[in-house]
Amino acid sequence: MKKRNCRMTGEEKNVHERAVKLRKMTDDKLIEHIDHIREEAYNTGYSEAEAQRASTPAPGKSLQQLLEQLDAGECKGIKSATAYKIAEFAREQGYLE
């Protein structure tokens, strides 16, 4: 049995009004609404991820460890000569001492 409208709480009335609004939308308006929500969510998530990535490096990892792993051949397609060139470039640019 359905709950009477007069016995709904404020939160339940709010949810009901939003659901009715969505049901009354035309197909075009509904698609436009969903695309807008998706775009906002993507932009928010993307900016938060960028901020987190820029502020926190991987815990326990260093540039020296990266170069050692490259030199050991742990990365597909990068052999010791390429790893050596990367290490030399890092030293020239001041990333390594």
Tell me, yes or no, if the pTM score tops 0.85.
no
| Range of the structural domain that residue 80 is part of | 58-97
Burial of 83 (0-12, 13-18, 19+ CB in 10 A): buried
Give residue 54's pLDDT. Answer: 63
78 and 49 co-located in one domain: no
Residue-wise DSSP of 16-47:
HHHHHHHHTS-HHHHHHHHHHHHHHHHHHHHH
**Same domain as 33, residue 45:** yes
Query: Where does the pLDDT of residue 56 fall: very low under 50, low under 70, confident under 90, or very high at 90 and above?
Result: low
Q: What DSSP character marks residue 6?
A: G
Quick one: pLDDT at residue 55?
63
Q: Say yes or no: 76 and 36 in one domain.
A: no
The total domain count for the chain is 2
- Integer-rounded Cα Rg, in Å, for the chain is 27
Evaluate the CA torsion angle 75, 80, 85, 86 in order and state its sign: positive
Q: What is the pLDDT of residue 31?
A: 92
Identify whether residues 46 and 86 lie together within a single domain: no
**Is the CB of residue 86 less than 8 Å from the CB of residue 67?**
yes
